[in-house]
Structure 1
Amino acid sequence: MRFQRYGTMAAVMLMIMTTVLAGCGSGQESKLAEGKTNVVTSFYPLYFLAQQIGGEQANVINLIPAGVEPHDWSPKSQDLDTTSNAQLFLYNGAGFEGWTDDFLQGLRKDSKLVTREASDGIKLIEGDSEDGHDHGHEEEANHEEEESGHHDPHTWVSPKSMKIMAANVLDSLSFVDPDHKADYEANYKQLETKLNALDDEYTAKLGAAPKKDIVVSHHAFSYLARDYGLNQVSIMGLSPDAEPKAQDLLNISKFVKENGVKYIFFEELVSDELARTLAREADAETLVLNPLEGLTPDQEKNGDDYFSLMTANLQNLLQALQ
């Protein structure tokens, strides 16, 4: 029986996993606008924050188009031209955008662009642990420390971290456009109220959940696990297309059975084959847990945003943790 299960897992590993993550449809065709603060963002969560806080005073352009996986995206010369003429460039940092150093070195010499790292001030979590587990008290590293280590960059998936990122965006907009600081602060206050409410709801409901183990396809929820007392076990690594070893899958299957895990989480636009195979082997079901790296075209059309997707995530988490 063990040999048969190993064979099944090994066969799945040989499959070519199609990764079609969405970056963000909003703004990829935007042009620079006169009379407004032009803000270029690296991916959806920052686009959302810049739009919410910038309001009518900001013109926000998101670099990564829909249908592109943010971990692997690289900018074109047109992106460099657009960014060189903008006033502010917001990127996540913490190792998420591997292209930023070369990109910023390629800016026009006369560019007055201000660049800001939105994850600044967040206590970063070290990369994948060897056993694939995050125990809610993951080893932390201050952002100011030397960045030679490998960090998990998925800060925005936790509302607590998103609040720090929002404050950074406010400071950045106020710095490049002090004349409209009061407008930005007013917009930020409204956003902060919503983020605080979301944080409170996550804290209360996940704190009361009888179970704490979540098994996920993509190791993207370390900050969520740390901030709300969960234990993350991931099938794949920090990159959504990293492939696990057969033995890792056997270990996770054993963990699922021994700990009464009822659901395996997967992402909507990444191949769910591994998650579904693991669920079948472990007699579990599957649910979506969205890492919010971007909106799908349908989500954009439906008016979904960070809050609606995080609310859906919480509902699925609560269903899985009963």
Structure 2
Amino acid sequence: MKLSKRVVAALLFSIILVVSGCGSNGGDSSSSSDKLNVQVSFYPMYEFTKNVAGDLANVEALIPAGIEPHDWEPTPRDLATIEGADVLVYNGAGLEGWIDQVTSAVNNDKLVQIEASQGIAIMEGSEEEKEAHDHEGEEAHDHEHGGLDPHVWLSPALAIQEVRNIESGLSKAAPEHTDEFKKNADAYIVKLEQLDQDFKSGLSNTKRKDFITQHASFGYLAKEYNLVQVAIAGLSPEQEPSAANMAKVVKFAKENDVQTIFFETLVSSKVAETIAKEIGAESAVLNPIEGLSDEDKANNLDYIGIMRQNLEALKKVLNQ
């Protein structure tokens, strides 16, 4: 149902473009600025792109801070924004379920599209997630991932690959700045490599390897650092866990003396807190960095800063 609404919105916007003539420039922004006009889908793509682009582009996120990206739907205004851009950066792997429809609706054949996860081996979700997706049928939301896990940015090693893809795309859009983009990407990747090394050293000798999360966001991180993610629910934050899976997680937690259940920012922590209460454990944040909260912004946190908080949270829990 949501898909049909979006199609209608896209068609209405196309009519508006024809009537107003606002699409006649084909996305050429050179008259207003020599900088690239870069639109990105959500926060991690903003952080990565801004670090690569430096002062050579105006980078803006389509999804506002504090909005869960799985819930976001583009409006006609967003279509107009994308149409006027030089570059569109998105994560891919099914996170932005609207991407194909939006890019086919805009009238800008010069738009450079960068799928940051291109070339990365995408993981499938849990059996529970795939089963839920199969049973949803036409009632499924557009933003469901089709059983694929899009959360690649939560592995610093894969974040490096995303940054390289963004560097390549920006160089395609502005080849005269290829050297600058590479220099900026190299400098940022040094920081990501240090982050990766800190995760490796910090998590290599913990007392336990398993952790329980409310939302199955941390599969890539777990795989990279030889951990085991036990998810209460599936890939989509709004997916309700089945009674059977809730019981399975409670049983696992009791048998393995789990003392902390992780929840995340931007979505309700009710499920995690319910299980924590059931087993006499505490709850704590493990942040999937799908957007910055007001508290994150107040503390001047960025991707690397939040990932370091995640590392400390994992070290504490895995050494209990």
When the two structures are superposed, what TM-score results if normalisation uses the length of structure 1?
A: 0.82
8 Å CA contact 2:43, 2:65 repeated in 1: no
CA distance 1:181–1:131, shift in 2 (3 Å): closer
Q: Deviations over 1:181-229 (max 9, x none)?
A: 1111111111010000000111111111111001000111110111111
Cα distance, 1:61 vs structure 2: 1.2
The structure 2 residue matched to 1:277, chosen from 274, 278, 287, is 274
Q: Tell me what 2:285 maps to.
A: 288
8 Å CA contact 1:254, 1:282 repeated in 2: no
Q: More deviation in 273-282 or 288-297?
A: 273-282
Cα distance, 1:131 vs structure 2: 9.2
Q: Tell me what 1:37 maps to.
A: 36
Cα distance, 1:48 vs structure 2: 0.4
CA distance in 1, matches of 2:287, 2:106: 33
Cα distance, 1:88 vs structure 2: 0.8
Q: Tell me what 1:13 maps to.
A: none
8 Å CA contact 2:35, 2:57 repeated in 1: yes
- State how 1:68-79 maps to structure 2 within 5 Å: 68-79=67-78
How many residues align? The count is 275
The structure 2 residue matched to 1:222, chosen from 219, 223, 246, is 219
Q: Tell me what 1:155 maps to.
A: 152
CA distance in 1, matches of 2:306, 2:61: 19
SS in 2 for 1:315: helix
Cα distance, 1:119 vs structure 2: 0.4
8 Å CA contact 2:260, 2:317 repeated in 1: yes
Q: Which runs of 5+ in 2 are unaligned?
A: 1-28, 131-144
SS in 2 for 1:71: helix
8 Å CA contact 1:85, 1:111 repeated in 2: no
Cα distance, 1:149 vs structure 2: 6.2
- 1:211 matched to 2:227: no
- State how 1:238-277 maps to structure 2 within 5 Å: 238-277=235-274
- State how 1:160-239 maps to structure 2 within 5 Å: 160-239=157-236
CA distance in 1, matches of 2:93, 2:196: 22
8 Å CA contact 1:205, 1:318 repeated in 2: yes
CA distance 1:182–1:284, shift in 2 (3 Å): same
CA distance in 2, matches of 1:51, 1:149: 29
CA distance in 1, matches of 2:129, 2:269: 22
Task: Give the counterpart letter for 1:59 in structure 2.
Answer: N
Task: Give the counterpart letter for 1:36 in structure 2.
Answer: K
CA distance in 2, matches of 1:245, 1:111: 45
CA distance in 2, matches of 1:46, 1:103: 18
CA distance in 1, matches of 2:238, 2:66: 15
8 Å CA contact 2:156, 2:196 repeated in 1: yes
CA-atom RMSD, angstroms? 1.6
Q: Which runs of 5+ in 1 are unaligned?
A: 1-31, 133-147
CA distance in 2, matches of 1:67, 1:316: 21
Percent identity over the alignment is: 43
SS in 1 for 2:60: strand
CA distance in 1, matches of 2:46, 2:52: 10
Q: More deviation in 40-49 or 77-86?
A: 77-86
SS in 2 for 1:125: coil
- Runs of 4+ aligned residues of structure 1 deviating over 4 Å after TM superposition are none
Task: Give the counterpart letter for 1:113 in structure 2.
Answer: L
Structure with the larger RCO, 1 or 2 (CA within 8 Å, 6+ apart):
1
Task: Give the counterpart letter for 1:246 in structure 2.
Answer: A
CA distance in 1, matches of 2:33, 2:146: 41
SS in 2 for 1:124: coil
- State how 1:118-129 maps to structure 2 within 5 Å: 118-129=116-127
